[in-house]
Amino acid sequence: MAEVKITGLHKRYGAFHAVKGIDLHIPDGEFTVLVGPSGCGKSTLLRTIAGLEEASGGTIEIGGQVVNDHRPRDRDVAMVFQDYALYPHMTVANNIGFGLKARKMPRAEVEKRVTEAARMLGITQLLDRLPRQLSGGQRQRVAIGRAIVRNPRVFLFDEPLSNLDAQLRDEMRGEIKRLHQEIATTIIYVTHDQIEAMTLADRIVLMRDGVIEQQGAPLDLFERPATTFVAGFLGSPKMSFLPGKFLRDGSAAAISLGDVLMPLPPARASIAAADGQLILLGLRPEHLSRAEGPAPVPGHIRQEAVVDLIQPTGSRSYATLRLAGAPAMAELQAHDVSRPGERLAIDINMNRASIFDAQTQRAL
């Protein structure tokens, strides 16, 4: 077990700059998820930590030791690959024990550990099989077994669930989380799936174009996104962005969306925005609800909207609304909305709304 510290890390492939100066400190035992769209450099970063790619600049420390010049074999990390990378010509037992044999561990000890790892993962009955005789979920377990049997300083996961079907993916996600709770080893986990990131991570590191866009606890990122990119990436359906103008009058503040004036609650009025500044108002679907009662609760604004499109999911329906001329999605009770073209009164929770500078796309 060890902390991982990355300082000013760069990775270039010829003219292509994949990782552009990453600084990241991962405390011992933390579950960190690197997430971002494909091509953002997250896998490259992970592979550089593993030693499979050579850093073009900056340092990587594992357990307080700079490992830039260490081969993967000397870093004492374990990695679970996207395609599992099981050795097709070896049995499950040999697959799991292969790393121990590299350490010249006595045969009896290898066997003991392999049995133990197989028991932990519930694959004891598969030990004599070859990888091609296993299902996707079983292969996944063997790949994890190969990692835990060594109890390395750091676990690296490279999109381990992306080859599984949806149901198995949910199941394995739970198991990986439980595994971390039990063995408490540092885990760095790469995924492009924001739900995996939200559910698994102690901390999310959201990357874009080779740099860290924002990092922090999942709920921090979700509730206080630093940029429109982060806000749009996390949460499904996506946050809606409505272009408007910030207005300030003494201690009171409001946002104007076209003709509509939306006063900000006092708690939000103090944000660092100037009068007349162009902004984007970020609203998540759950921040819009059907109006109830004679007047909105404090911090909410009541507004009329036209329904453009309805996507029922069962108990809830996602409705695309035309709100002050711009499209915004609302998550409503299934029966709150019936047909496109309908006019609805909507309560907007301004306490939770995000406000971004229209130019820099950064939160205000």
Between residues 90 and 291, which has the closer beta carbon with respect to other proteins? Answer: 90
Which one of residues 42, 141, 150, 268 is an interface residue with other proteins (CB under 8 A)? Answer: 150
Q: Given CA atoms 348, 350, 356, 357 in this order, what sign does their dihedral have?
A: positive
Contact 22, 55 (CB under 8 A): no
Residue 75 region by backbone torsions, left for phi larger than 0, else alpha for psi between -120 and 50, else beta:
alpha
Sort 98 into a burial class: Cβ within 10 Å, 0-12 / 13-18 / 19+.
Answer: middle
211 is a site residue for other proteins (CB under 8 A): no
Which one of residues 120, 168, 326, 358 is an interface residue with other proteins (CB under 8 A)? Answer: 120
Which of the stretches 21-29, 98-106, 187-195, 204-212 binds other proteins when contact is defined by CB under 8 A?
98-106
Question: 317: closest CA among 308, 325, 195, 302?
Answer: 308
141 is a site residue for other proteins (CB under 8 A): no
Window 288 to 327, contacts with other proteins (CB under 8 A): none
Q: What angle do CA 318, 322, 328 make, to 5 degrees?
A: 50
Which one of residues 54, 59, 66, 89 is an interface residue with other proteins (CB under 8 A)? Answer: 89
By CB under 8 A, the count of residues binding other proteins is 46
Q: What angle do CA 141, 201, 120 make, to 5 degrees?
A: 25
Element (H, E) at 144: helix 136-148
- At residue 280, φ and ψ (nearest 5 deg) are -115, 130
75 is a site residue for other proteins (CB under 8 A): yes
Between residues 49 and 201, which has the closer beta carbon with respect to other proteins? Answer: 49
192 is a site residue for other proteins (CB under 8 A): no
| CB 55 to other proteins: min, Å | 16
| CB 18 to other proteins: min, Å | 16
Residues that bind other proteins (CB under 8 A): 1, 50-52, 71-79, 81-83, 85-89, 98-100, 102-105, 113, 116-117, 119-120, 122, 146, 148-153, 156, 182-185
